[in-house]
Amino acid sequence: MKDFLKKVCFLTISLFLFHCTMNKEDKVLLDKEQIVDSNFSKSFLENFNKNKNFSSSYNIFFSEEVDEKLISSFLKGIEFGFFSNQDSIKSKLSFIAFNEESECSTIKARGFNLVLVNDLNSEFYRKCKRRLSRNSLFTSINVDNEIEFIQIDEKSLLITEKIRDSRNNKSVLSLNNSSDYEQKIAAYFEINLSNERVRSLRNVLKEKINFSPRKRKDIDKIFIDASPKETKRIIPAIRYNLIFDADIFTYPKSIDVWNSELSLSELNKVEGFEYPVLLNRMNIFEKVIPEMDVNEKIAFSAGFDIFFFGAKIRSRSSNFSGLLGRYEIKENFLYSKPLKFSINPSGVKQG
């Protein structure tokens, strides 16, 4: 852990040097050809430029159970916010590691206390969630919100790279360890059977037959729960098999336009829930976020939101939105909620 705290000090110096090179031109949106939600981005940048309300001190307590790589990205987001505003750098930042077996009195610093735990099963959270002051909040990078899609029924298919059981009456197509997504999707929709029948007829009749492959008609909604790397294989595989009459929905962390090779036309008519940071590319973050994986981007964004908009979080504001969407607090735990989105040729609509 000592080595990790040394990294934190190095990170502070690095971000200070980065701040010295940042200028006004960094605070504009990318050009209109990029996939951006102008309403969200405009609102976010206005709040970014106008925010002058910061706590006098922030005490970030992080459990030793949390992955160090995610802590590093989380702290990087906090410190990016710290050096992004002349008013924010007047605040005092403290980073304190703690053991899950510690007493609740460990969290007794003055100012805004943020306690980062691994998940909701944290031993420290369970025993201390009702014993800390109002100035203290728990949060986690690993908590996945339960997303409620409408009209999930027996005509729904869940495509995933993960091994999981069917739920909510959905059929599940797992592409785990599959090298040929097109063939596996074709087999599920019985397109390959249609092709085989035509080949048999051609062999019997010895003449050319024009046809369009017939598909299963009992699936009208396809849900994708996969990493961006897999999603950018799954969606083209669906299009390749000419499956255009089924609506496509994605779960959070499935689309990342920072590293996506999918075109706007391929993403046309895709809907779902996603963290705003993964659907919006803003120049202000171009120098730090592109090389991160999805979980690191989420951790960075959580850190940025918690510091930069900490005054709103501390006051339990119900209208607060950040890089990770809308925030809410339940049982002294801070949750971020991805926003609903839809994509068409003109771009992304969120909220």
Give the pLDDT confidence of 289-334 residue by residue, as tens digits: 988 999 999 999 999 999 988 877 777 665 667 899 888 888 999 9
User: What pLDDT score was predicted for residue 202?
Assistant: 47
Whole-number mean pLDDT of the chain? 78
Residues 131 and 172 in one domain: no
- Would residue 268 count as lying in a domain? no
pLDDT at residue number 200: 46
Whole-number CA gyration radius for the chain:
24
Report which of residues 18 and 327 the model is more confident about: 327
pLDDT digits (tens, 9 = 90+) for 179-224: 788 888 888 877 654 444 445 434 444 455 454 454 556 788 899 9
Residue 262, in any domain of the structure = no
Identify whether 78 is part of a domain. yes
Whether 69 shows a pLDDT value over 60: the answer reads: yes
Q: Same domain for 59 and 205?
A: no
Position 191 scores a pLDDT of 67
Question: Would you say residue 264 lies in a domain?
Answer: no
User: Is 350 inside any structural domain?
Assistant: no
Residues 6 and 141 in one domain: yes
Q: Are residues 111 and 227 in the same domain?
A: no
Taking the C-alpha atoms of residue 281 and residue 36, their distance in angstroms, rounded to an integer, is 7
Residue 136: φ, ψ to 5°: -115, 135
- CATH number of the domain to which 49 belongs: 3.40.50
Residues 141 and 192 placed together within one structural domain of the fold: no
What average pLDDT score do residues 103-110 get? 88
Q: Are residues 90 and 54 in the same domain?
A: yes
Mean pLDDT of 84-99: 88
pLDDT at 17 over 50: no
Pair (192, 227) in one structural domain: yes
Mean pLDDT of 16-24: 41
The residue whose two tokens read 């050009």 is 31
Distance CA 274, CA 351 (A): 10
Q: Judge whether residue 53 has pLDDT over 70.
A: yes
Q: Is pLDDT at 246 greater than 50 in this prediction?
A: yes
Q: Which of 263, 258, 302 is nearest to 278 (CA)?
A: 258
Q: What is the mean pLDDT of the segment spanning 76-93?
A: 87
More confident residue, 194 or 158: 158
- pLDDT for the residue numbered 63: 95
CA distance 105 to 92: 21
**pLDDT exceeds cutoff 80 at 15:** no
Q: Are residues 8 and 139 in the same domain?
A: yes
In a domain, 82, yes or no: yes
pTM beyond 0.75: yes
Domain that residue 131 falls in: 2-145+278-341
| Interval 175-182 mean pLDDT | 75
114 in helix, strand or coil?
strand
- Torsion angle of the four alpha carbons 166, 168, 170, 175, in this order, in degrees rounded to the nearest 10: -40
Please check whether residues 73 and 141 belong to one and the same domain. yes
Q: In terms of domains, do 123 and 206 share one?
A: no
Question: Do 140 and 22 share a domain, yes or no?
Answer: yes
Domain boundary among 209, 234, 251: 251
Q: Which residue has the higher pLDDT, 237 or 97?
A: 97
Same domain, residue pair 189 and 128: no
